[in-house]
Chains A and B, each alone.
Chain A
Amino acid sequence: MNKLKIHVEKIVRPIRASDRSKMKMREELLGHLLAGHKEALSLGKNNPIDAAINQLGNTDRLRDELQASVSHLEQFCALRLKTNLEQSFKPSSKSDFTLALRASMEVVFFCALLLLLPALAVAILGNPSKEVSTYVPIIIIFASMGVAFLISTFAYRALHFPQITHPSSSASCYLKGVIETMNWLVMIGLFLTFIGILDHWIYPLTSDIPFPEVLLIVARQPILIFMPAISFLVTAYAAYVTRKQYMAWDNLEITE
């Protein structure tokens, strides 16, 4: 089974796609190879494992075909946010600071693109709260997240990551999970910004609202605090569980 898994991993690992898609490919290809192996055994073939692998076809060609089946949006997200992030943690001739700076700039740039949506809404619908510009807290949030990301990435590299992230070390998977969670923190910051903008719009409308609806306003503040906290905990846990699930594949040594 290990030889079949290694063959699957050789095909799937270099593909630019989300973890979910890659896991789907791994499970399906492994299931296929196992079924092929079973059939080759029943037919009394000499080397059933190699027979199953040969039947699957040329590795490079299959990888290209699988890559082509991944949507451009998914490839973009996987390449820019994840693969590049992982690349940033691999040994390189570039300085730790340069790599950390590049990774953090990319994440902030991607978030700035997402920010275009509420910015457009403000431009079209107007900003009801004239006292404070909506853009100031947004800029502060993103600048601080960028700095936090830069520091964490730099610190991670400085912590002798080549030893930590060696394929045979299970610790790497947990740490990768943590780093991915950092990535999600940025997304949650974005979510907070959305709520903040909505809050600016809703507030002037709520002053004359009668009792039952006023409860919504009272509930608003805890929601503002707890929603991101809950999403963070859920996301962090999900990242950890997912990473644990992928650990068996990530740790496979696929070099000849």
Chain B
Amino acid sequence: MSKIEKDMLRGHLDGLVLSILEKDSGHGYDILKRLREESQDTLQLKEGSLYPALYRLEEAALVKARWDESNAAKSKGPRRRVYSITPKGEKMLGRQREKWTHFSQIIGRIMEAPS
């Protein structure tokens, strides 16, 4: 399957992250792994870009975060920040899904090969 690069992802990252968090909460690396798995490794995302997106979503109260100390206690490494979607985030995701469906239907109609 061909790879989807970052420029094509622009504008959709927030929705993708919300969608992942809707299923289950997780920390940054975990979210990224799940994104990769669900896209069957076709999303070519520069990993660092995930964090500004998470901070934006947190600032807008679409996700909330808490520190998980277990990693620090176990391996003396840094703490992990676990993100979960908020009710406001769920509503926003619903709206983004509607927009996406509408958008993809229109583009699909135009891009369809002539019969």
Contacts and interface: CB of A to CB of B under 8 A. Distances in A.
A30 B78 contact: yes
A133 interface: no
Given A28-B81, A31-B78, A31-B79, A56 B29 contact: no
A58 B55 contact: no
Interface residues of A, number: 25
A31 B51 CA distance: 12
B49 interface: yes
Nearest to A17: B55
Nearest to B57: A69
A35 B79 CA distance: 12
B48 A56 contact: yes
Interface in A14-32: 24-32
Range class of the B interface residue count: 10 to 19
Given A29-B51, A69-B52, A69-B55, A34 B46 contact: no
Most chain A CB within 10 A, of B28, B46, B59, is at B46
A31 B30 CA distance: 11
Interface stretch (A60-68, A94-102, A157-165): A60-68
A42 interface: no
A92 interface: no
A32 B29 contact: yes
A28 B28 contact: yes
Given A27-B81, A56-B46, A58-B46, A32 B28 contact: yes
Contact of B29 (A35, A57, A68, A71): A35
B104 to A, nearest CB: 26
B34 interface: no
Contacts of A26: 78
Given A24-B81, A31-B29, A34-B78, A56 B47 contact: yes
B39 interface: no
Interface in B31-56: 46-49, 51-53, 55-56
Contacts of B64: none
Contact of A27 (B29, B46, B79): B79
B83 to A, nearest CB: 10
A31 B46 contact: no
A65 B29 contact: no
Contacts of A221: none
Nearest to B32: A32
Nearest to A5: B78
A36 interface: yes
Interface string A41-71: 0000000000000011110011001101111
Contact of B48 (A34, A62, A70): A62
B28 A31 contact: yes
A55 B36 CA distance: 13
Interface of A: 11, 24-32, 34-36, 55-58, 61-62, 65-66, 68-71
Interface of B: 27-29, 46-49, 51-53, 55-56, 59, 71, 77-81
Given A27-B81, A69-B51, 17 more contacts: A11-B48, A26-B78, A27-B78, A28-B81, A29-B48, A30-B77, A31-B71, A31-B79, A31-B80, A32-B47, A36-B47, A56-B46, A56-B47, A57-B46, A62-B48, A66-B51, A69-B55
